[in-house]
């Protein structure tokens, strides 16, 4: 979630990049083994971060060793050492003070250590009209829609309040913690419940008066005597006169 939220903030500020250079942390590269269908199609399982970037048309390039990302590793070492000492010397104790100090610190750091690229030019793309980042930069899951219109997700139960015909729905969990449930790109109304609703048992509806059958006076049921194993009329059991 922090990675998705950070990338959303980056896009809002810079635009959509052509590619992103990342390590092989499980956030950025799925450790799952490909299914049979994925093997037949020649594709690899994607992490949620990779899936989101693919939907945005961003190429993901994975570093195959720690040395391949030497510059960023050195930067992290600086931030964990020198930056902490700088803030301690300034007497910074709160988050707001630290963020304010970064606005001053970054320009100084970049002027001292930045290396100019061989080629100049901004290759970021603007956001297409109508693109909903919140529906892409999120964690997506498919869940079954039960007969009582309930959906289970992360040990929580949600009651769908819209009347729909679907066997499955999409659940989007966004970085801000909100949950969106969709059916064919339609956002559904729902509420969280603690237990599944109990279905009321109803009596079968009868149409018309109840039919009552009365045996005739000479029906063999009337002549049958229990315990005798015979009929007084002399007719064999099961034979209707």
The per-residue pLDDT for range 119-142, each reduced to its tens digit, is 888 889 998 888 889 999 999 999
pLDDT above 70 (res 152): yes
Please report which confidence band the pLDDT of residue 117 belongs to, taking 50, 70 and 90 as the band edges. Answer: confident
**For residues 109 and 134, is the Cβ–Cβ distance under 8 A?**
no
Q: For residues 226 and 224, what is the distance between their CA atoms, to the nearest angstrom?
A: 6
* Size of the chain, expressed as the number of residues it contains: 241
Phi, psi values for residue 207, rounded to 5°: -105, 115
**For residues 27 and 47, is the Cβ–Cβ distance under 8 A?**
yes
**Domain extents for the chain?**
2-113, 138-193
Q: For residues 24 and 45, what is the distance between their CA atoms, to the nearest angstrom?
A: 13
Mean pLDDT of the 105-118 span? 86
Please report which helix (H) or strand (E) contains residue 99, including its range. helix 95-113
Please report which confidence band the pLDDT of residue 18 belongs to, taking 50, 70 and 90 as the band edges. Answer: very high
pLDDT of amino acid 136? 93
């Amino acid at each position: 979630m922090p990675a998705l939220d950070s990338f959303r903030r980056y896009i809002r500020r810079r635009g959509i990049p052509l590619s992103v250079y990342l390590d092989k942390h499980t956030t950025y590269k799925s450790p799952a083994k490909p299914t049979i269908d994925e093997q037949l199609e020649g594709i690899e399982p994607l992490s949620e971060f990779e899936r989101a970037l693919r939907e945005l048309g961003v190429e993901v390039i994975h570093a195959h060793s720690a040395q391949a990302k030497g510059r960023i590793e050195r930067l992290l070492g600086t931030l964990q050492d020198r930056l902490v000492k700088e803030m301690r010397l300034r007497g910074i104790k709160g988050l707001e003070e630290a963020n304010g100090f970064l606005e001053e610190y970054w320009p100084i750091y970049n002027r001292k250590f930045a290396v100019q690229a061989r080629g100049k030019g901004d290759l970021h793309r603007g956001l297409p009209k109508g693109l909903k980042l919140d529906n892409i930069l999120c964690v997506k899951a498919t869940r079954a829609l039960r007969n009582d219109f309930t959906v289970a997700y992360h040990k929580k139960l949600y009651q769908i309040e819209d009347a729909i015909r679907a066997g499955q729905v999409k659940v989007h969990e966004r970085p801000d913690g909100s949950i969106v449930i969709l059916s064919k790109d339609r956002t559904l109304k729902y509420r969280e419940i603690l237990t599944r609703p109990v279905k009321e048992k109803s009596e079968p509806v009868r149409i018309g008066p109840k039919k009552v059958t009365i045996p005739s006076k000479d029906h063999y049921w009337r002549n049958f005597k229990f315990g005798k194993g015979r009929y007084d009329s002399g007719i064999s059991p099961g034979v209707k006169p």
